[in-house]
Amino acid sequence: MTPLSHQVGEGLGVRGSGTTTTSPCPVRSESAVSLVVTLVVIFVASAIVLWGLSLFLQGYLYSEPADKLILRAAVGGLAIACYLSFWVYVNTRADRPNKYGAIHQFSPVALSKSTTFQAVQKYRKAGGEAREETVAYQKQTGQRGEVFVSNTDATPFKLNTADYITSAIIVTEGQPAPVRFEAVLKPDGWTYDGEKKTFREKGGPRFIEGDDPGVIVAPSGGTQLVAIALNVLVFVVLFAVFWPVLQYGVGHAIGLSLVIGLVIIILLMPMLFDLNTLPTVPVAPPTPATRA
C-alpha cells in the first residue's frame, strides 16, 4: 500500500528520517525522457500493427487495402500514441496513484490537507474498562521531516502503543464544524481492521488513512467523470483511426475499436502507468557528528 504522503503531483519533496530534501532536476529530466520514449515506442508499434492488420483484414474484407496504407497507418499510430501518452502524463502526475487510471484500477478521490487535528486515545484499564483522552496535534517541520506533535509536550503522534489505541480523529481546520473520523476496528476494539488503518467520517463518505492523519480523502464525482472520460476516449480515438483514417466500414471500425480498446485499457495502460510513475528519491541518512 502506497501511503497518501507520496504525493506525486506536488513538487518532489521527500521525507526522510533526517531533514526534508528536495529532489534535483535530473528526476524531472528522466521523467520527460520516459514520456518521450513512451510516445515513440507506442507510435512505432501502433503504426506497424495498424499497417499489418489492415493489409490482411482489408484484403480479406474489401478485396484490397486502402490506398496509401503506410501513410494512413502512420497517421493512426501517431494519433494513438499522442492520446495514450497524454493519458499517462495526466494519471502519473496526479496527486494520488491511479487517480485517473484504467477503469478497473482508478481511484477517483479528492484530497484536502490539515495541519492540526485531535486524536481520541483509548487507554486500557484493569477489569476490561477503558478511558479516553483527547490530545491536540499540529504539524511541525524539523530534523525528522514533517511530523505531527502534541501541542502540550511535543510528543510525536502515534496510532497506538502498548497503553492506548487511537480510536478517532477529530478535524476542525477548514471544516464548518468539527468532523469526527472513527477508526475501523476489529470486534475486540483494540486492533485496526486492515492494513490501511482507516478512520471513516461519522455519517459521511470521507475517510483518513492512519499513515497520513493530516489528509482527508473524499470521493469526487468530478474526478470520477474525468477518469471515465479518459477511458472512453480510447474507443473514440480508435474508432476515428479505423473509420476515416484507415477507411474501414463503420461496423468493422466499431468492432475493432471495442476489442483493441479493451486490450489497451486492461493490459497495456497499467504497464505504461507503472513505467512512467515518478521515482521516489532516496534520502541519505544524516551523518553522525564526529568528535575532534
Question: How is the chain split into domains, by residue range?
Answer: 13-108+222-276, 118-219
Helix axes 69-92, 269-276, angle to 10 degrees: 60
Report strand pairing: 116-124 vs 164-171.
antiparallel
* Exposure on the CB side of residue 266, measured as CA atoms within 13 A: 6
Mean pLDDT of 49-64: 95
Q: What is the pLDDT of residue 128?
A: 64
Which of these, 265, 267, 268, 238, lies nearest to 253 by C-alpha position?
238
Asked if 55 and 48 count as a contact pair (C-beta separation under 8 A), the reply is no
Q: What is the pLDDT of residue 8?
A: 35
SS3 220: coil
Asked if 216 and 208 count as a contact pair (C-beta separation under 8 A), the reply is yes
- In terms of phi and psi (left: phi > 0; alpha: psi -120 to 50; beta: otherwise), the region of 158 is beta
- pLDDT grade, residue 284 (50/70/90)? very low
- List phi, psi (to 5°) of 249: -65, 160
Q: For residue 117, what is the enclosing H or E element?
A: strand 116-124
Which of these, 131, 114, 139, 101, lies nearest to 214 by C-alpha position?
114
pLDDT of 14 over the 90 cut: no
pLDDT of 121 over the 90 cut: yes
- pLDDT grade, residue 129 (50/70/90)? confident
Q: Looking at 46-50, 256-260, 274-278, which range is the least confident one?
A: 274-278
Measured in residues, the chain has a length of 292
Count Cβ atoms below 10 Å from residue 288 Cβ, excluding itself.
5
Asked if 110 and 94 count as a contact pair (C-beta separation under 8 A), the reply is no
Q: What is the pLDDT of residue 7?
A: 38
Which of these, 103, 91, 89, lies nearest to 31 by C-alpha position?
89
Burial pattern 197-232, b for ≥16 Cβ within 10 A else e, equals: bbbbbeeeebbbbbbbbbbbbeebeebbebbeebbe
pLDDT of 261 over the 70 cut: yes
The CA distance from 24 to 30, in Å, is: 11
Sign, CA torsion 64/67/73/75: negative
Q: Looking at 41-50, 56-65, 106-115, 130-139, which range is the least confident one?
A: 106-115
- pLDDT grade, residue 88 (50/70/90)? very high
| Cα dihedral 135, 136, 142, 143 in deg (nearest 10) | 10
The CA distance from 175 to 196, in Å, is: 24
